[in-house]
């Protein structure tokens, strides 16, 4: 009896594995004309790369363009202010150098 149980389990496992290689008859009946599935029967899946992009919201595009134009104008104003400040500093430095070089020489 102790040898019967392992033999029964081994026989059952062999029968289970033997059934794994069996193929169905559906694949034998498949032909190139019957393999394709109508588009209505296709499962919903992720969009393909060939699909057109989703429609854009024109109001969102206009808003984004307005914001980017506003940001560009702000950046231009900040750049102009920094250039003006640098010009004022350079003018003040040049004036200071000129006043230092224009010392009056004693007349002989």
> Mean pLDDT for each consecutive 10-residue tract of the chain (108 residues)?
80 78 60 65 67 70 80 89 92 88 58
The per-residue pLDDT for 85 is 93
- Please report, for residues 20, 25, 33, 50, 71, the alpha-carbon distance to residue 38 in angstroms, rounded to integers and kept in the order given: 31, 22, 11, 19, 51
The secondary structure of the chain in percent helix, strand, coil, rounded to multiples of 5, reads 65, 0, 35
Q: Which domain holds residue 88?
A: 60-93
- Please report, for residues 21, 22, 33, 95, the alpha-carbon distance to residue 29 in angstroms, rounded to integers and kept in the order given: 18, 16, 11, 98
Domain membership of residue 55 (yes or no) is no
The per-residue pLDDT for 2 is 74
Total domain count for the chain? 1
Domain membership of residue 80 (yes or no) is yes
| CA–CA gap between residue 23 and residue 10 (Å, rounded) | 23
pTM: 0.35
Q: Which residue has the tokens 């002989």?
A: 108
């Amino acid at each position: 009896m102790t040898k019967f149980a392992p033999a029964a389990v081994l026989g059952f496992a062999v029968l289970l594995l033997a059934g794994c290689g069996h193929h169905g008859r559906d694949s034998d009946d498949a032909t190139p004309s019957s393999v394709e599935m109508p588009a209505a029967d296709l499962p919903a899946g992720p969009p393909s790369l060939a699909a057109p992009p989703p429609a854009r919201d024109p109001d969102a595009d206009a808003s984004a363009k307005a914001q980017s134009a506003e940001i560009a104008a702000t950046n231009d104003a900040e750049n102009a202010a920094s250039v003006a400040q640098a010009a004022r500093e350079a003018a003040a430095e040049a004036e200071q150098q000129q006043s230092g070089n224009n010392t009056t020489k004693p007349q002989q």
